[in-house]
Amino acid sequence: MENKELIQQVTAKAKVWLGAAYDAATRADVQRMLDSEDKTELIESFYKDLEFGTGGLRGIMGSGTNRMNRYTVGAATQGLANYLKKSFASLGEIKVAIGHDCRNNSRLFAEISADIFSANGIHVYLFESLRPTPEMSFAIRHLGCQSGIILTASHNPKEYNGYKAYWDDGGQVVAPHDRNIIAEVNAIKRVEDIKFKGDKSLITIIGEEVDKVYIDKIKQISLSPEAIARHKDLKIVYTPIHGTGIKVIPRCLQTLGFSNVISVPEQNVISGDFPTVVSPNPEEPAAMSMAIAKAKEVDADIVMASDPDADRLGIAVKNDKNEWILVSGNQNALLITNYLLRRWKELGKLNGNQYMVKTIVTTELLKDIADHYGVEIYDVYTGFKWIASVMLQQEGKKEFICGGEESYGFLVEDFVRDKDAVSAAAMIAEVLADARDKGKTLYEQLLDIYLEFGYSKEKGISIVRKGKSGAEEIQAMMDNYRAHPVKELAGSPVVLIKDFKTLKACKPQTGEVWDLSMPEPSNVLQYFTADKTKVSVRPSGTEPKIKFYMEVRTDMKSRADYDKAGAAADAKIEAIKQSLGI
């Protein structure tokens, strides 16, 4: 499309936003874009409609059809309201829970959504102020709601906001509801179709009463209260990175009995501008730097950081050289899972009817641990909604122990149906207390897991290819891997290939082929080798990149071998990159 034609199209779309149905501030902002000689902002704001996808909305805030604003949020809420009224027509009252994080406009979007739901005759439970995403998931189940939404863009940059929709089980919407809601949202063609004028009698403000029940229930999942009592003065440095975790995580830790929770005052400031970090992502070393500095100052035992909506938790510990190191999402999952299964066994709680869940790109050591304890483990696609989906399927049949993913998400309890940094913080603190009972540091506990189940190292690699040509190149790479299957990785033969697009698995050496049992196809390839290497390849669903998740195994016979095992794993990963041509 020629630039002139594109400008004509976006100009026509923008002029609709000058109509009387739009508020004065929006009209002025759109007029400013129209009047500007540089049409870049106009094009970016109107060249497409911000899509309500299977994960909801996420985008840059501002005026326009391709931005997060009261009208795009309004259309999403009106569409969801319409679908709820069709799905639960037999109920005397339909109820939804609404939460939000610290981001700029999150409270505004939450209040607008509350007004729209109530204008449609739906009873709204609106949190009084910011709360963690998992607490909103809890509130859906606790209050008997049919749906819920959270206004958050997780750990995206400050310019972004987002909108995630949940169903009556407390999990994010999955098929068929996701596609049906998208259809209802897309059917909202005019701003006049959105009922903005709320019914205040249908909006109930919630807060402390839900906080208390949520925290009390987390306390009930503790497996070693005696160990906590013995080590209650562990020095725990915690930062919410300006986000929602400040509302409940310190209080939750203290309720469990940990009396020495140390804050990072500069990052306790609630702010959607995230003034002390470039990215509010606990996976990033820079986001943890202030907390680690505080830990050095007070000689802490552990550092914890939650992302802005407190569904993901990052931790740091001291190694055997007294250096602070970040613990990966996979390692965090290993520490908690190994502890949970061991304690469940010690307490006589394992009877063969328990299960756990992990995503397909998460470390296979979790399966080895589950097998060791005789616990069934399910593999699901990337995204915690798939873990919640298994929990819904198994509800009333089997007992959930835990679920986790490599990207710092973990869930210990079944009364929440999304990843939960609050319970993860409580549980990793308990794991530390248990380790201290045995005369170990958390670092030594991790190394001992490797000694028992084998050493594994994981590395993610992303190749960015922007624009239309980039998307075509990424697709060509996936097509090439399918047309010319990888035969070896770092010299070890590929013994199993899983193609989640065709939902077929095969053993190349024997030609044996069988079906994969997954809820729907996904453009993911996985390779497993004779030496237990696993490589997963998939295009990103939200960014212009192709992602490689690598997991390799090497020998480790003592704690002293840890660094050597890591170096050998790094060398193997470099060889795998050569095998894949990246």
Task: State the pLDDT at residue 259.
Answer: 98
Catalytic residue, chosen from 147, 154, 222, 456, is 154
Catalytic residue flag (residue 90): no
Q: Are strands 236-239 and 203-206 parallel, antiparallel or unpaired?
A: unpaired
* Under 8 Å between Cβ of 290 and 269: no
Q: Which two tokens stand for residue 315?
A: 């931790």
Q: Which helix (H) or strand (E) holds 423?
A: helix 421-437
Q: What are phi and psi of 168, to 5 degrees?
A: -70, -15
Given its phi and psi angles, is residue 335 left (phi above 0), alpha (psi -120 to 50 degrees) or beta? alpha
> d(Cα 231, Cα 216) in Å, to the nearest integer?
20
80 in the same domain as 12? no
342 in the same domain as 301? no
Task: State the pLDDT at residue 2.
Answer: 56
201 in the same domain as 63? yes
Burial 340-361 (b: 16+ CB within 10 A, else e): bbbbbeeeeebeeebbbbbbbb
**End position of a domain, from candidates 413, 433, 453:** 453
Residue whose pair of structure tokens reads 């237990």 in the numeric block: 532
* Under 8 Å between Cβ of 34 and 41: no
430 in the same domain as 500? no
498 in the same domain as 550? yes
Task: State the pLDDT at residue 1.
Answer: 43
Give all strands (DSSP E) within 319-365, no chain letters. 324-327, 354-359
Burial 8-28 (b: 16+ CB within 10 A, else e): eebeebbeebeeebbeeebbe
Q: What are phi and psi of 450, to 5 degrees?
A: -65, -40
Of 457, 428, 426, 458, which is closest to residue 443 (Cα–Cα)? 428
350 in the same domain as 299? no
190 in the same domain as 241? no
Q: Which helix (H) or strand (E) holds 181?
A: helix 177-186
551 in the same domain as 489? yes
Q: What are phi and psi of 308, to 5 degrees?
A: -55, -35
Burial of 81 (0-12, 13-18, 19+ CB in 10 A): buried
> d(Cα 442, Cα 448) in Å, to the nearest integer?
10
Neighbouring C-beta atoms of residue 199, cutoff 10 Å: 17
142 in the same domain as 22? no
Q: Which two tokens stand for residue 429?
A: 């603190």
Q: Which amino acid is at 269?
A: V
Instruction: Give the contacts of 551 (CB within 8 A, at least 6 positions apart).
Output: 363, 364, 456, 457, 458, 533, 534, 535
> d(Cα 456, Cα 364) in Å, to the nearest integer?
9
**End position of a domain, from candidates 267, 295, 326:** 326
What's the CATH number where 541 sits? Answer: 3.30.310
> d(Cα 369, Cα 454) in Å, to the nearest integer?
10
Q: Which two tokens stand for residue 495?
A: 């013994």
**End position of a domain, from candidates 158, 180, 206:** 206
Q: Which domain holds residue 201?
A: 54-206
Q: Which helix (H) or strand (E) holds 575?
A: helix 562-580
> pLDDT truncated to tens, each residue of the chain (582 aa)?
458 899 999 999 999 999 999 999 999 999 999 999 999 999 999 999 998 887 889 999 999 999 999 999 999 999 999 999 999 999 999 999 999 999 999 999 999 999 999 999 999 999 999 999 999 999 999 999 999 999 999 888 899 999 999 999 999 999 999 999 999 999 999 999 999 999 999 999 999 999 999 999 999 999 999 999 999 999 999 999 999 999 999 999 999 999 999 999 999 999 999 999 999 999 999 999 999 999 999 999 999 999 999 999 999 999 999 999 999 999 999 999 999 999 999 999 999 999 999 999 999 999 999 999 999 999 999 999 999 999 999 999 999 999 999 999 999 999 999 999 999 999 999 999 999 999 999 999 999 999 999 999 999 999 988 877 778 889 899 999 999 999 999 999 999 999 999 999 999 999 999 999 999 999 999 999 999 999 999 998 666 789 999 999 999 999 999 999 999 999 999 999 999 998
In this prediction the pTM is 0.95
What's the CATH number where 169 sits? Answer: 3.40.120.10
422 in the same domain as 300? no
Question: Could you give the number of structural domains in the chain?
Answer: 5
* Under 8 Å between Cβ of 362 and 406: yes
Of 109, 106, 142, which is closest to residue 125 (Cα–Cα)? 142
Q: Which helix (H) or strand (E) holds 213?
A: helix 208-220
Burial of 436 (0-12, 13-18, 19+ CB in 10 A): middle
State the distance between the two ends of the chain, measured CA to CA, in whole angstroms.
33
Give CA 542 to chain center in angstroms.
14
61 in the same domain as 38? no
* Under 8 Å between Cβ of 391 and 414: yes
> d(Cα 462, Cα 548) in Å, to the nearest integer?
6
> d(Cα 225, Cα 458) in Å, to the nearest integer?
33
182 in the same domain as 64? yes
Task: State the pLDDT at residue 514.
Answer: 97
Triad 183, 187, 191: Cα angle to 5°? 140
